[in-house]
Structure 1
Amino acid sequence: MTDLICDEFQNTVSKYLVRHQSILDILSKIQESTARVNRSAVKTITNCGCLQVHAEKKELSPDATFDDFAIAKLLDNNLKGKICADCKETLENELGKTLFYIAALCNSMDINLYDVILKENKKLSTLRIFNLT
């Protein structure tokens, strides 16, 4: 089912991508859209305030291990609060635009987006916590 959703999305993108079909346009639009994602995420903190950043140095005990992702439980994303509906909608819209241009890049390079997702998932599943990319 997921592969059908990815394939349908890629087909829709190829059907409606009219203005920015050049590979240079696609690459620059991906960069622009990811910058907009970053800006939307920052605005949840600096403009709306629904999220706050609380960051400090994390102290790990000397006997902490990577077993069963135990170390991940000691660390967090430094965010406090809950994203509000308006910020979530804005961020989802910007992420959607980024996905649009990623699918456009896949189309122009004859790459199946679902295959990319499967390969990345397999790599993550295989390398687990040692996937430090």
Structure 2
Amino acid sequence: MKDIICDDFQNTVRDVLIRHKSILDVMTKLQETDARINRAIAKSVTICGCLNINAHKQEIPEDIDFDDLPYVVDSHLEGNLCHNCRDIVEKEITNHLFYLAALCNLLNINMFDLIIEEYKKLNWLGPFTLT
């Protein structure tokens, strides 16, 4: 069922994308949506204040078990998105997904296949994908 939703989304993007159909338009719109996501998150810190970033050097104990590492590494993020900021960030992420689907369409790449391949790789490599 999930592959149908993903494929339907990608096909709908193909059908409705008219104005920015050029590969150059899609590439630059994708880059713009990425910047807009970052800006929306930054505004949630600097203007709204619902999030706080407290970045510091990651302290990893020497005697830690590798399986426990994800529970020790800090995201440097404090707080939660308020309703307004969440709406804005979600809107920007969905715009990004739209242009990502558009790029996949132009390059004849199936998004669901990409998701499945990445999922398989993550499950096969596990936590060793520390890149």
Asked whether the two chains share a fold, i.e. TM above 0.5, the reply is yes
In structure 2, how many angstroms separate the alpha carbons of the residues matched to 1:14 and 1:61? 49
In structure 1, how many angstroms separate the alpha carbons of the residues matched to 2:118 and 2:106? 20
**1:121 and 2:119 correspond:** yes
Instruction: Using the TM superposition, give the Cα deviation of residue 17 of structure 1 relative to its aligned residue in structure 2, in angstroms.
Output: 0.2
Q: 2:55 is matched with which residue?
A: 55
In structure 2, how many angstroms separate the alpha carbons of the residues matched to 1:17 and 1:33? 15
Equivalent residues in 2 for 1:106-117, closer than 5 Å: 106-117=104-115
* Structure 1 moving runs of 4+ over 4 Å: none
| More off after superposition, 123-132 vs 56-65 | 56-65
Instruction: Using the TM superposition, give the Cα deviation of residue 55 of structure 1 relative to its aligned residue in structure 2, in angstroms.
Output: 2.0
1:52 aligns to what SS in structure 2? Answer: strand
In structure 1, how many angstroms separate the alpha carbons of the residues matched to 2:94 and 2:61? 40
Q: 1:44 is matched with which residue?
A: 44
- Structure 1 unaligned segments of length 5 or more: list them: none
Residue identity in the other structure for 1:38: N
**1:75 and 2:73 correspond:** yes
In structure 2, how many angstroms separate the alpha carbons of the residues matched to 1:59 and 1:99? 34
Q: 1:90 aligns with which of 88, 91, 104?
A: 88
Instruction: Using the TM superposition, give the Cα deviation of residue 50 of structure 1 relative to its aligned residue in structure 2, in angstroms.
Output: 0.2
| More off after superposition, 72-81 vs 52-61 | 52-61
Instruction: Using the TM superposition, give the Cα deviation of residue 48 of structure 1 relative to its aligned residue in structure 2, in angstroms.
Output: 0.5
Structure 1, residues 80-106: CA drift from partner, whole Å, max 9, x if none?
A: 111100000000000000000000011
Structure 1, residues 91-126: CA drift from partner, whole Å, max 9, x if none?
A: 000000000000001111111100000011111111
In structure 2, how many angstroms separate the alpha carbons of the residues matched to 1:62 and 1:36? 39
Instruction: Using the TM superposition, give the Cα deviation of residue 64 of structure 1 relative to its aligned residue in structure 2, in angstroms.
Output: 1.6
- Structure 2 unaligned segments of length 5 or more: list them: none
- Calculate the aligned-residue CA RMSD, in Å: 1.0
Q: 1:24 is matched with which residue?
A: 24
Structure 1, residues 37-74: CA drift from partner, whole Å, max 9, x if none?
A: 110111110110001112222322211232x2x01111
Between the aligned residues of both structures, percent identity stands at 48
In structure 2, how many angstroms separate the alpha carbons of the residues matched to 1:91 and 1:85? 10
Residue identity in the other structure for 2:85: C
